[in-house]
Structures are given as structure tokens and as C-alpha cells.
Chain A
């Protein structure tokens, strides 16, 4: 009897022990479990770019809308030409047969296809906006009319099945339809510009109007035929069903990728909804689960260029891909094929650790992965979910030997990482690979140097500065804090800057000049000195944030012109940018920069990432290859966009040459007339930009050469102390001397601690 009882107790004990162990170990499971991992290893996703011939020059066209019906895509193509103006055409593209067919839909010069959707019968419903008006000889418009037609076209050949004018049903001529969907029963859903969703039967009889509290961002039809809408709620973007029984939006869907990411939702063929952000997955409504398929970045596709997507019946993902930043922009249809992993060439992986992936670096990484045969870069984005947790993890990885091979240094403290021996000296790599310092802007390298070593590389930059009228400030290239204070006090303007509040003016005076108050060598600070107290008192003369009139105000240009404000804080990222400011300052602009004891207050800011190589990397050569690509002639000379200057001197000179080369057009008399390159605007000031003069380019050169300090190098902790302690002073609760004394006390600890 006793034995039996004991045995029972033992069994219970063993069971409880096992249960507890299982419970404890259950926490160890990672989100991507082993089954998923093995699946991932078994298969790989490979993109295929389909060139669709629309019979239009690819530079002058765009796919403005696309709808999939089975394996057929219906595409609205907008094109423009000097003679024809803007035009819309409707095409059918059979993906399996790779065949394009133009639909015989007549779209007038002033008409456009607003929206389209597939019907359950496999036809295509198109919303056509038809505009008509008369113009007299003075260009005055009369008899303006704008009608919305709903045309149902045969999915087979595009022949017209039915046409109905729905203008009145949608609220008259002023109505505008933002989204248009058709559910599985053929009901029409029109979301208008007044946050009202109109639901109509296939016969266009009104079922209900649903008013939404929040703006609907997107609508999608699930495979089951239900319509869902996305809008921003408490937890970011939320996906909710349009419920026709309650005539309202339902509860948000659980388990689907949403939140504050850049998510889009499309009709899926295999499960309910296709989800596309940086990751692509398919969501099943019944089980409320999402299956992750792949990441666009992992398959070397830049998600920034994807406008529409969907799933074909064979499970392949299609997308409209438009690399609008390329020198020869073209629209392609992207197909993602699932293949066996063994069919894909394996490469050595280099990890790129970042808190948030820079736009230009993302593009560069994809280019590197496409072109490099030995290495491929895998991005590890630490700050994707939670910035602070990500930063802690990033630091933990660095110190525990799990450090990424390439480190994005745009976030966190570059100097701290450099001083800890985390990074490789890139000068050594440059020397080893025959890259000459003198081919690059050495002042840029100097800005990122720490004790004569270069630990980070940037590919392009802009100069953060402060501008003043040369006629007022004189021909100076910089000033000290006391010179700047004297200058403002002598001129006694209404304000220093547009929107200049006490805190922003104080920020301008101190933050990029903080080393003036800290003697690191001797571990002493002088925040309780005369200069700092004077700066506090100076800033306090200006209005507080609450006192600034943000609405009823004069434009910046007008204020500058009337000498109501003296300075303008901004950045110069191109010659055109400079030309605009030159225009704003009536021809003569002085780049005085931020107050600085050496009168060198123009600061370098990276415009396209800042990358270093980990000293513990096992793939230093591969990591250097990437940095070499950043610095390479090809990238430096062909970088997209006007935002930022290249760091290579020859590339910069080439860019300047382009800026100085005039563009011409032929006027009605057959004469060559200089064409404007672009137009720029700043608040109440607009200017047409023509080819730059040598003098303008020289001014930009001088500005670039004057900058040899990095922007934003002030420690966050110092910022916090100063911001916290100056607040009561600016509210008039404390004296400047008391405030300065407390700041001195707190920063002294910081300085002592960091010596």
C-alpha cells in the first residue's frame, strides 16, 4: 500500500518536473523555428524581370495602376510626350504567355482612368474620369464638366460589357474616388475624399454609406471575396473588414504584419491576403496566421521601387517595379520564382549592422550583391522594432564578438566606437589598395578622423551652415561665440532666425560649439563662466516656443530682405541649392556657420550613410570591397539625386561641370534659348535655376573646403543635461548663474567619468 502511494508520488513528481522543464524551455523557442529554417534552406526565391513592350518609350511612361485576375494583369499605362501631352492606355498582360495586348478603350485627352478592379466573373471594371470644358481666346475656361463613368470591360478582349455614369450616385461632379474595390458578390465599394465608403450592389443600388473616423490608407479584397480597409489606429496601421451587416469597419485583424512599417496589402491566390513591406508574406484569415515568404532585400530587390504586387495561381509573386532613380528609368514586371536552394550559387555572407537602413546604402547593397560573385551583404536591422532595445542589442553584439562585419555609424556615437578599437583604420586599406587620399576631399576624411585614423567612410555629404547677408556681416568665413553675440547685439534685429525661439537660438550658440566649454585634457568645464552665462541671457531675450506666431507671419525671404532676421540655418547640398540661397540673399551670401572658437563652423553631414569595418570581422576583404564600391569612380560619378556632393574630387568636378553646362531649347523663331535646369523654392521665395557660373561654383568649392568638422557629434547625455536644466531658466524660474552652476556641476561628472 505504502509502496503504491510512494510510486504515485514519484510519478507526480516526475510529471511536474518534466512539465516545469518544458514550460521553462518553451521560452527558448525563437520566432523562426527549425521547420521554417529548414524550409528556407530548402528553397530560395529568385527575381525575374520581364520587359513589357507597351510601344512607348520607357522614359516617358509609368504604370499607374495594375490589377490581377488569375494569371492576367491589367495595367493602366500613363505616358507623356511634348506633342501628345499626358495619355492613358489600358493593357492586358498574360504572364504565362508573356504577351501584351492593348484594350480598345477610348480615353480622351482630358480623361483618365482613376481606378479599376476585377469582377468575380473575370471582367474588368474601370472608373473613367471624363473631363470637358471650353476655352476662349483669353484662355478662360467655361462649361467645365467632370463625370465618372463605370465601364465593365470583357476580360477576354476588352470589349465593353456595360457603361454607367455614377457621378450622381457618388455625390456629384465634385466627388473624388480614392479607392475602388469589388467584393466576391460583385458589390462595388467606393471610398471618397470625404472619408465615406459607398457600398453598392452590382446593379449600382446603394447598400450603405460607411463613415470612417480615420482616413483609409488602402483597401484590399481577400481571396474569400471580402473587402478590408487599412487605417491608422492606436498601434499603427490596422487592417479591418468592411462589415456590411453592421455597416461599419470590424475589429482589426490579428496576426497580420501591420503597425508603423511600410506595409501594403494585395489579393492573394493561395491564402487570404498578400502582405508586402520589406518582408513578403501571405496571411490566412481563418487561422489568423501569416506565412513569411521572403524579404525583398534578401532577393536583391529594392522595395522602394515596388508599386503594386500580387500572387499568381502558381504561387509566384508579381510586382510592378520602377527604378525611377536610374539614369534610364524603366518600368518592369517582376516575377519572383521559388527554386531549390541548391540551384542558387552560394556566396560568403557579410553582415551589415544598422539601426535603420539608409535609402542610398540600401540601393548600393543591392547593387553590390548583384555584382559581386564572392560576397553578399546581409542586412541586420537592429532598430526595426524598438530603437532602444535595438541599440542595446547592437552594443551587446559588438562586445560579445557577434559584431556585424560592416557597421553603420550614422547612429550612436562614432567617436566612442572608434576609441574602443571596434573599427578598422580605413587609411590602411586605402593605402593597400592603391587609393590615394589626394583623389578625395581630404577635409571630409579629416572630419571623420580620430587620432589620425579614419574609421568610417561616407559616400556623399552636404554642408550644414548658417548664412548671412555679406553686406551686413562682412566677408567672413566664420565667427566665435562672442563675435556672434556682439554682432547680433549691435544690429538688434527682431529675431536672429525665422521662428527663432529661446531654446533654438541657445541650441545654435552652444551645441556645435560645446568643446569650447570642456577642457578634456585637464578634465575641467567652464559652463559657469561668463561666456555661457552671457549666452543664456542672450537667448532668453527672444520669444519662447509658445510665444512664436506660427501661422500669421511674414515669409522668410521678406524678413531677410527687410533685415528683420539676420541669419538662416540650412544646408548646401548642391550648386543649385547654393544658387537659390544666393538669390534669397540678393546675390551676396556669407557662410558664417556655427559659432566656433577656431571660426570653422561649417559642418559636414553624411548624405548617404556612414560605414565602418569591424576589427573582429572575418570578412574584412569583402567588407572593404563594399566600401571601395562606395568610393569607386563609377558610384561617385553616377550617384542618383541632387542631394549631396560626391567625396571624389574628379566626380565633384564633373558634377560642377554639368552644373555649369547650359541647356537650350529652340524658340518659335528657331533661336537657341537657355532652358532652366530646375526651379527651387524656400517659403515665400522661388527661383528658376540656370547653368551655374564659375563664380558660383567657386563659392561652393570654398564652402566645401572650409568644412572639416563632423556635424552632430555632441553626446546625447550632454544634450539631455543642458536641455533639462535650461528649461526652468527659459521659463523665468531660475537665474542664469544658478542654471549655469547646475549645468557645470552635472557636466563635470560626465567629463570626469569619461576621462
Chain B
């Protein structure tokens, strides 16, 4: 072996391989270190950007909820003595609360399915080739644009003892009905709720219908599937997440119907119109925060359970169509 003067001896293949492995390790290490630094910085920035929202959620949702929990376990906001579940027991045994819970449940159980089913039918109807589609769409959406105070005024004109409805039934020789002070009161409110909410739900369903892949529908037609089979096995499956969303929104809106009832009949309406929010609103006015909080927590628990069931149902029916 000859060695040239002043030059290093050449490395063997093994040595070169070793060197390369070491270099790779160092490079990976430095890359990992750089990536860790970037990750940490990224996390810090993410936290910084999320901070206002987190603070907002803490301040406007979490903190009030904690306060409500606190109020629900004390005797009253002035004395502040801890009474554990006494308020829950007291509220649960209160006849007005029971009445309100029953009415709210009845109302939601009637109005929400109707709002979902009717708006879906309307959406499907407007999807098909019928004349005056856009006019119908506008017609069903228009109640959304009317301010609630005007809606209530219209309803008062319609369902007042001397209102239009009684005029109409009078033409058929029927006696006047005190719509807002009788067992019919909740029917009036269900109609009002549907009138106000169908348009919005319908638009959501129309969007869901238009997003169903056309090729699947065409294949189903080619395979001689009946319209019902197409609706049941394809459309309904693809719309399951929208149905869940519309149901949750309608459920939430059904609790908000208090606003209309309050404007129609004040704090103490006829018993069939007395909702949970009346109970909470009135107890708040009378400084019975403990009663109000206990009722609110019970209502929240029921809402969570219902929404949980809805999610499980949607998961069960809609999992095979989710991407």
C-alpha cells in the first residue's frame, strides 16, 4: 500500500458507512430538536390565539353555570346556607314545576317531530319538479323575517276571543272558543312554532338533499329501486346528520317558545301554556334563585340526556355514509 506524502490514508467502506450513519443520527437529532422547538412555539401561539375564546367561555358559560350550581345548593342568595339537594326535592315536588315540565315535554314532543317531519316533506316537495318553487320557498321563509312582537300581534288578532278564528268558526255556526285560555292554547302555540320555524328547517334539509351524491341515486334508479326505497335507504341515511342538527335546533327553539307565550299572556298564562321558563323567570323575579337554579339544572340534565340519545341514534343510522 502506498501512502502519498501529505495525504490522509483512504477510509475503508465500513468506516465510511459508520461515518454516514453518525452524520444521519446527528442530522436527525438536530432536526428533532428543531421540530420540538417549532411544536412548542406552535402550541404557545395556539394557546395565545385560543386564550380570548377560552376566557370568554369560562366567563360567560362555565362561571355562570358554576354560580347556578352554587345557588341550587344554598337556601337563598342572601343567607347562603348550604342545603345540598333540598332545593331539588322542593322544586321536584312543586306542582307548578311539574305542570311546567309536563307542558314543556308535551310541547317539545309534539312540536319538534312535527317541525322535523314537515320541513323535510316541504324540502322534498320543493326538490321535485313543481311550479312556483321559488315563490313557495319565499313563502315559507317569510315568517323568519317578521319581528317577534309583530308575530305575537298577528296571533292575538287571529286567536283573540273576538278574533278572526272565532269569526270563521262562527260562519259554521260554532260557538266561540277562548283559544288562549283553554286546552287549545298549546295547539295554538304549536302552530305558531311551526309557522315560525318550518322555513329555516326546510332550507337546511334542501341543502342536505342537494349534497346527496347523484351517481348513487342514479344507480338506485337503474337497479329499479322504488322511490320509497331510495328515500329510506339512501336519502334518509345521507341526511341523518342534518336530521340530528335540525332536531337539536328545533328542540332548543321549542324551549324558546316562552318568549311568544310571555308576550301573549304574561307571567302566568293559562296552565297548558305554562312552560319551564315561566317557572324560572317568575322565581327569578321573586328572588328565589335557589328554586330557579335547581330547575335549570334539572332541565339541563334532561337536555343533555336527550341530545346524547340523539347523537347515539345518529351515529347508529348514519355511520355507514360518513366519509
Contact = CB atoms under 8 A, between A and B. Distances in A.
A523 B95 CA distance: 9
Contacts of A742: 178, 181, 270
Given A398-B287, A724-B266, A748 B271 contact: yes
Nearest to A395: B287
Interface string A605-630: 00000000001100000000000000
A749 B268 contact: yes
B181 A749 contact: no
A750 B78 contact: no
A728 interface: yes
11 contacts: A399-B289, A403-B78, A421-B79, A422-B78, A733-B162, A745-B270, A748-B271, A750-B268, A752-B96, A753-B97, A754-B286
A725 B182 CA distance: 13
B77 interface: yes
Contacts of B271: 745-746, 748-749
A618 B279 CA distance: 34
A418 to B, nearest CB: 11
A749 B96 CA distance: 6
Interface string A394-424: 0100111001000000000100100011100
Contacts of B253: none
A420 B286 CA distance: 9
B161 interface: yes
Contacts of A733: 161-162
Interface in A33-67: none
Interface in A704-754: 717, 720-721, 724-725, 728, 733-734, 738, 742, 745-750, 752-754
Given A398-B287, A523-B95, A616-B78, A747 B161 contact: no
Interface of A: 395, 398-400, 403, 413, 416, 420-422, 523, 615-616, 717, 720-721, 724-725, 728, 733-734, 738, 742, 745-750, 752-755
A734 B274 CA distance: 23
B76 A420 contact: yes
B96 A746 contact: no
A416 B95 CA distance: 20
Nearest to B80: A401
A616 B96 CA distance: 31
Contact of A755 (B94, B161, B269, B274): B94
Nearest 7 pairs of A and B residues by beta carbon: A752-B96, A753-B96, A752-B95, A399-B77, A742-B181, A746-B268, A421-B79
A377 B126 CA distance: 70
A178 B103 CA distance: 64
Contact of A421 (B78, B96, B181): B78
B44 to A, nearest CB: 16
B310 to A, nearest CB: 31
Given A400-B77, A745-B271, A754-B286, 4 more contacts: A399-B77, A420-B78, A749-B268, A749-B274
A738 B94 CA distance: 27
Contact of A747 (B76, B77, B268): B268
A745 B279 CA distance: 15
Contacts of B287: 395, 398-399, 416, 420
B270 A753 contact: no
A609 B274 CA distance: 37
A734 B178 contact: yes
Interface in B92-109: 94-97, 99
Contacts of B270: 742, 745-746
A724 B78 CA distance: 34
A747 B271 CA distance: 9
Interface in B236-279: 266-271, 274, 279
A752 B267 CA distance: 14
B156 interface: no
A748 B274 CA distance: 11
A728 B161 contact: yes
Tell me which of B161, B269, B286 has the highest count of chain A C-beta atoms within 10 A of its own C-beta: B286
A413 B287 CA distance: 11
A621 to B, nearest CB: 20
Given A398-B287, A753-B282, A717 B267 contact: yes
A70 to B, nearest CB: 56
Contacts, number: 68
Nearest to A731: B162
Tell me which of B94, B181, B279 has the highest count of chain A C-beta atoms within 10 A of its own C-beta: B181
B269 A746 contact: yes
A421 B81 CA distance: 12
A738 B178 CA distance: 9
Contacts of A421: 76, 78-79
Interface string B124-148: 0000000000000000000000000
B161 A753 contact: no
Contacts of A721: 266, 268
Interface in B153-180: 161-162, 178
Contacts of B279: 753
A743 to B, nearest CB: 10
A724 B94 CA distance: 26
A404 to B, nearest CB: 13
A505 B234 CA distance: 69
A421 B105 CA distance: 35
A717 B79 contact: no
B78 A615 contact: yes
Contacts of A420: 76, 78, 287
A733 B282 CA distance: 30
A273 B94 CA distance: 60
A532 B96 CA distance: 23
A421 B269 CA distance: 29
A400 to B, nearest CB: 8
A615 B267 CA distance: 30
A754 B266 CA distance: 17
Nearest to B90: A755
B78 A749 contact: no
A750 B283 CA distance: 11
Contacts of B97: 753
Contacts of B161: 728, 733-734
A752 B279 CA distance: 10
A413 B283 CA distance: 14
Contacts of A717: 267-268, 282
Nearest to B182: A742
A469 B183 CA distance: 48
A721 B178 CA distance: 16
B98 to A, nearest CB: 9
Interface string B38-82: 000000000000000000000000000000000000001111000
Contacts of B76: 420-421
Contacts of A523: 95
A422 B77 CA distance: 10
Tell me which of A733, A746, A753, A754 has the highest count of chain B C-beta atoms within 10 A of its own C-beta: A753
A416 B96 contact: no
B84 to A, nearest CB: 19
A734 B178 CA distance: 9
Contacts of B96: 749, 752-753
A745 B181 contact: yes
Tell me which of B77, B274, B282, B287 has the highest count of chain A C-beta atoms within 10 A of its own C-beta: B287
A392 to B, nearest CB: 9
A723 to B, nearest CB: 11
B279 to A, nearest CB: 7
A348 B229 CA distance: 82
Contacts of A746: 268-271
Given A734-B161, A749-B99, A398 B78 contact: yes
B50 to A, nearest CB: 14
Tell me which of B78, B79, B161 has the highest count of chain A C-beta atoms within 10 A of its own C-beta: B78
Contacts of A750: 268
A615 to B, nearest CB: 7
Contacts of A615: 78
A171 to B, nearest CB: 51
Contacts of A399: 77-78, 287, 289
A420 B78 CA distance: 7
